Amino acid sequence: DSGVTQTPKHLITATGQRVTLRCSPRSGDLSVYWYQQSLDQGLQFLIQYYNGEERAKGNILERFSAQQFPDLHSELNLSSLELGDSALYFCASSDDRGLKDGYTFGSGTRLTVV
Amino acid sequence: AQKVTQAQTEISVVEKEDVTLDCVYETRDTTYYLFWYKQPPSGELVFLIRRNSFDEQNEISGRYSWNFQKSTSSFNFTITASQVVDSAVYFCALSPLTGANSKLTFGKGITLSVRP
Protein backbone atom coordinates (compact mmCIF):
# COMPACT_ATOMS: atom_id res chain seq x y z
CA ASP A 1 0.00 0.00 0.00
CA SER A 2 1.61 3.24 -1.20
CA GLY A 3 -0.48 5.41 1.09
CA VAL A 4 -2.26 7.12 -1.81
CA THR A 5 -5.81 5.82 -2.20
CA GLN A 6 -7.71 6.07 -5.44
CA THR A 7 -11.32 5.08 -5.92
CA PRO A 8 -12.85 3.46 -7.78
CA LYS A 9 -10.31 1.04 -9.22
CA HIS A 10 -12.38 0.36 -12.32
CA LEU A 11 -15.12 2.34 -13.96
CA ILE A 12 -17.12 1.52 -17.06
CA THR A 13 -19.44 4.17 -18.39
CA ALA A 14 -21.12 5.28 -21.58
CA THR A 15 -20.20 8.13 -23.88
CA GLY A 16 -21.66 11.44 -22.84
CA GLN A 17 -21.71 10.56 -19.17
CA ARG A 18 -19.92 12.24 -16.25
CA VAL A 19 -17.72 10.53 -13.68
CA THR A 20 -15.78 11.54 -10.59
CA LEU A 21 -12.48 9.99 -9.62
CA ARG A 22 -11.31 10.37 -6.05
CA CYS A 23 -7.85 10.52 -4.53
CA SER A 24 -6.72 10.60 -0.91
CA PRO A 25 -3.08 11.63 -0.63
CA ARG A 26 -0.49 10.11 1.63
CA SER A 27 -0.65 11.45 5.16
CA GLY A 28 1.23 14.73 5.41
CA ASP A 29 1.45 15.38 1.68
CA LEU A 30 0.00 18.69 0.55
CA SER A 31 0.47 18.32 -3.20
CA VAL A 32 -1.78 16.21 -5.39
CA TYR A 33 -1.16 15.55 -9.07
CA TRP A 34 -3.38 13.92 -11.67
CA TYR A 35 -1.97 12.03 -14.64
CA GLN A 36 -3.63 10.27 -17.55
CA GLN A 37 -2.01 7.18 -19.06
CA SER A 38 -3.21 6.12 -22.48
CA LEU A 39 -1.57 3.82 -25.00
CA ASP A 40 -0.93 6.52 -27.56
CA GLN A 41 -0.09 9.48 -25.31
CA GLY A 42 1.81 7.80 -22.50
CA LEU A 43 1.74 9.40 -19.05
CA GLN A 44 0.41 12.94 -19.37
CA PHE A 45 0.25 15.47 -16.57
CA LEU A 46 -3.21 16.92 -16.12
CA ILE A 47 -3.22 19.18 -13.08
CA GLN A 48 -1.59 19.84 -9.71
CA TYR A 49 -3.04 21.15 -6.47
CA TYR A 50 -1.14 22.31 -3.45
CA ASN A 51 -2.96 22.73 -0.16
CA GLY A 52 -6.26 23.41 -1.87
CA GLU A 53 -5.02 25.70 -4.61
CA GLU A 54 -4.38 24.94 -8.25
CA ARG A 55 -0.66 25.20 -8.88
CA ALA A 56 -0.07 23.92 -12.38
CA LYS A 57 -2.11 22.84 -15.34
CA GLY A 58 -1.09 20.51 -18.10
CA ASN A 59 -2.93 19.08 -21.07
CA ILE A 60 -6.26 18.96 -19.32
CA LEU A 61 -9.35 19.17 -21.49
CA GLU A 62 -12.01 21.75 -20.74
CA ARG A 63 -14.42 18.88 -20.14
CA PHE A 64 -12.25 17.85 -17.20
CA SER A 65 -12.00 19.67 -13.90
CA ALA A 66 -10.50 18.98 -10.52
CA GLN A 67 -10.41 20.32 -7.02
CA GLN A 68 -8.68 19.69 -3.73
CA PHE A 69 -10.74 19.88 -0.59
CA PRO A 70 -9.80 21.17 2.89
CA ASP A 71 -9.07 17.63 4.05
CA LEU A 72 -6.63 17.46 1.09
CA HIS A 73 -8.41 14.76 -0.84
CA SER A 74 -8.89 15.55 -4.49
CA GLU A 75 -11.48 14.76 -7.11
CA LEU A 76 -11.12 14.70 -10.88
CA ASN A 77 -14.37 15.25 -12.74
CA LEU A 78 -14.65 14.06 -16.32
CA SER A 79 -17.75 15.08 -18.27
CA SER A 80 -19.21 14.54 -21.73
CA LEU A 81 -17.08 11.45 -21.93
CA GLU A 82 -15.75 10.24 -25.25
CA LEU A 83 -14.30 6.89 -26.26
CA GLY A 84 -10.85 8.50 -26.33
CA ASP A 85 -11.06 9.32 -22.64
CA SER A 86 -10.63 5.64 -21.85
CA ALA A 87 -7.36 5.48 -19.93
CA LEU A 88 -5.71 4.78 -16.63
CA TYR A 89 -5.90 7.83 -14.38
CA PHE A 90 -3.28 8.16 -11.69
CA CYS A 91 -3.16 10.40 -8.70
CA ALA A 92 0.15 11.13 -7.02
CA SER A 93 0.99 13.03 -3.88
CA SER A 94 4.14 14.56 -2.49
CA ASP A 95 5.44 16.85 0.14
CA ASP A 96 6.26 20.10 -1.56
CA ARG A 97 8.33 19.33 -4.67
CA GLY A 98 8.76 15.70 -3.78
CA LEU A 99 11.80 16.62 -1.75
CA LYS A 100 11.51 14.02 0.92
CA ASP A 101 10.21 10.79 -0.60
CA GLY A 102 9.62 11.60 -4.21
CA TYR A 103 6.15 11.35 -5.64
CA THR A 104 3.92 8.51 -4.48
CA PHE A 105 1.38 7.19 -6.92
CA GLY A 106 -1.94 5.53 -6.23
CA SER A 107 -2.88 2.32 -7.97
CA GLY A 108 -4.94 4.20 -10.53
CA THR A 109 -8.51 4.22 -11.79
CA ARG A 110 -9.07 2.40 -15.06
CA LEU A 111 -11.79 4.20 -16.96
CA THR A 112 -13.46 2.50 -19.88
CA VAL A 113 -15.89 4.53 -21.97
CA VAL A 114 -18.17 2.42 -24.15
CA ALA B 1 9.82 23.18 -21.76
CA GLN B 2 10.93 19.83 -20.48
CA LYS B 3 11.26 16.66 -22.48
CA VAL B 4 12.29 13.09 -21.69
CA THR B 5 13.24 10.70 -24.46
CA GLN B 6 13.38 6.96 -24.02
CA ALA B 7 14.40 5.86 -27.48
CA GLN B 8 14.13 2.14 -26.74
CA THR B 9 10.51 1.06 -26.76
CA GLU B 10 10.83 -2.68 -26.12
CA ILE B 11 13.73 -4.78 -24.88
CA SER B 12 13.75 -8.54 -24.50
CA VAL B 13 16.50 -10.37 -22.64
CA VAL B 14 17.10 -13.78 -21.21
CA GLU B 15 17.26 -14.15 -17.46
CA LYS B 16 20.64 -13.31 -15.91
CA GLU B 17 21.60 -10.98 -18.73
CA ASP B 18 22.48 -7.39 -17.90
CA VAL B 19 20.32 -4.72 -19.51
CA THR B 20 20.63 -0.95 -19.75
CA LEU B 21 17.65 1.33 -20.22
CA ASP B 22 18.49 4.69 -21.74
CA CYS B 23 17.06 8.06 -20.82
CA VAL B 24 17.90 11.42 -22.36
CA TYR B 25 16.34 14.62 -21.13
CA GLU B 26 15.99 18.25 -22.14
CA THR B 27 15.36 21.12 -19.78
CA ARG B 28 16.10 24.82 -19.51
CA ASP B 29 16.16 24.57 -15.74
CA THR B 30 19.60 24.66 -14.15
CA THR B 31 18.39 22.57 -11.24
CA TYR B 32 16.09 19.62 -11.55
CA TYR B 33 15.24 16.12 -10.35
CA LEU B 34 15.43 12.93 -12.37
CA PHE B 35 13.43 9.82 -11.56
CA TRP B 36 12.92 6.23 -12.61
CA TYR B 37 9.60 4.46 -12.05
CA LYS B 38 8.64 0.84 -12.67
CA GLN B 39 5.18 -0.20 -13.82
CA PRO B 40 4.70 -3.96 -13.45
CA PRO B 41 1.86 -5.79 -15.22
CA SER B 42 -0.38 -5.09 -12.23
CA GLY B 43 -0.34 -1.42 -13.28
CA GLU B 44 0.87 0.53 -10.29
CA LEU B 45 3.77 2.96 -10.57
CA VAL B 46 6.64 2.07 -8.27
CA PHE B 47 9.24 4.69 -7.38
CA LEU B 48 12.80 3.46 -7.94
CA ILE B 49 15.11 6.44 -7.60
CA ARG B 50 15.37 10.23 -7.52
CA ARG B 51 18.56 12.15 -8.28
CA ASN B 52 19.06 15.87 -8.23
CA SER B 53 21.08 17.74 -10.79
CA PHE B 54 23.74 18.64 -8.24
CA ASP B 55 24.73 15.06 -7.69
CA GLU B 56 26.34 13.22 -10.56
CA GLN B 57 27.55 10.30 -8.52
CA ASN B 58 26.45 6.94 -9.81
CA GLU B 59 24.20 4.98 -7.52
CA ILE B 60 23.90 1.26 -6.93
CA SER B 61 21.08 -0.49 -5.14
CA GLY B 62 21.36 -4.25 -5.25
CA ARG B 63 21.08 -5.32 -8.89
CA TYR B 64 20.09 -1.81 -9.97
CA SER B 65 22.49 0.96 -10.87
CA TRP B 66 22.06 4.40 -12.35
CA ASN B 67 24.50 6.47 -14.39
CA PHE B 68 23.81 10.21 -14.45
CA GLN B 69 25.84 12.25 -16.93
CA LYS B 70 24.95 15.91 -17.03
CA SER B 71 27.27 16.55 -19.97
CA THR B 72 25.18 14.29 -22.19
CA SER B 73 21.85 14.93 -20.41
CA SER B 74 21.46 11.23 -19.76
CA PHE B 75 20.27 9.19 -16.80
CA ASN B 76 20.62 5.53 -17.70
CA PHE B 77 19.44 2.59 -15.66
CA THR B 78 21.17 -0.80 -15.61
CA ILE B 79 19.75 -4.03 -14.24
CA THR B 80 22.41 -6.61 -13.55
CA ALA B 81 21.59 -10.32 -13.73
CA SER B 82 18.01 -9.64 -14.77
CA GLN B 83 15.17 -11.74 -13.39
CA VAL B 84 11.71 -12.55 -14.68
CA VAL B 85 10.25 -10.31 -11.96
CA ASP B 86 12.01 -7.35 -13.59
CA SER B 87 9.59 -7.60 -16.52
CA ALA B 88 7.74 -4.29 -16.52
CA VAL B 89 7.50 -0.91 -18.18
CA TYR B 90 10.15 1.49 -16.95
CA PHE B 91 9.66 5.24 -17.04
CA CYS B 92 12.23 7.97 -16.73
CA ALA B 93 10.89 11.33 -15.52
CA LEU B 94 12.04 14.88 -14.86
CA SER B 95 10.82 17.70 -12.63
CA PRO B 96 12.09 21.16 -11.86
CA LEU B 97 13.76 21.59 -8.52
CA THR B 98 12.63 25.17 -7.96
CA GLY B 99 9.62 27.23 -8.93
CA ALA B 100 5.95 26.66 -8.27
CA ASN B 101 5.51 23.93 -10.88
CA SER B 102 6.78 20.60 -9.63
CA LYS B 103 5.06 18.30 -12.09
CA LEU B 104 6.77 15.23 -13.48
CA THR B 105 7.43 14.98 -17.19
CA PHE B 106 7.61 11.34 -18.23
CA GLY B 107 9.24 9.59 -21.12
CA LYS B 108 7.17 7.14 -23.18
CA GLY B 109 8.49 4.18 -21.23
CA ILE B 110 10.49 1.06 -22.11
CA THR B 111 8.84 -2.35 -21.98
CA LEU B 112 11.31 -4.86 -20.61
CA SER B 113 10.61 -8.55 -21.01
CA VAL B 114 12.86 -11.00 -19.20
CA ARG B 115 12.51 -14.55 -20.47
CA PRO B 116 13.35 -17.55 -18.31
User: Considering CB atoms only, which of B44, B47, B101 is closest to A56?
Assistant: B101
Task: Identify the DSSP state of B15.
Answer: T
Mean pLDDT of B24-31: 92
pLDDT at B72 over 70: yes
Q: Tell whether B104 is within 8 A of chain A (Cβ).
A: yes
**A73 close contact with B: CB closer than 8 A:** no
Q: What is the pLDDT of residue B102?
A: 76
CA gap B32, B53 in Å, rounded: 5
Q: Is A88 in the B-facing interface, judged by CB distances under 8 Å?
A: yes
A46 to chain B: closest CA residue:
B103
pLDDT, average across residues A2-15:
95
Contact between residue B86 and residue B111 where contact means Cβ atoms under 8 Å apart? no
- Confidence class of residue A2 from pLDDT cuts 50, 70 and 90? confident
SS3 category, A110 = strand
Q: What is the mean pLDDT of chain A?
A: 92
Q: What residues in A contact B104, CB-CB < 8 Å?
A: 33, 35, 45, 92, 103
Position A83 scores a pLDDT of 96
CA dist., res. A89 & res. A2, Å (int): 16
Q: Is A44 exposed, middle or buried (0-12, 13-18, 19+ CB in 10 A)?
A: middle
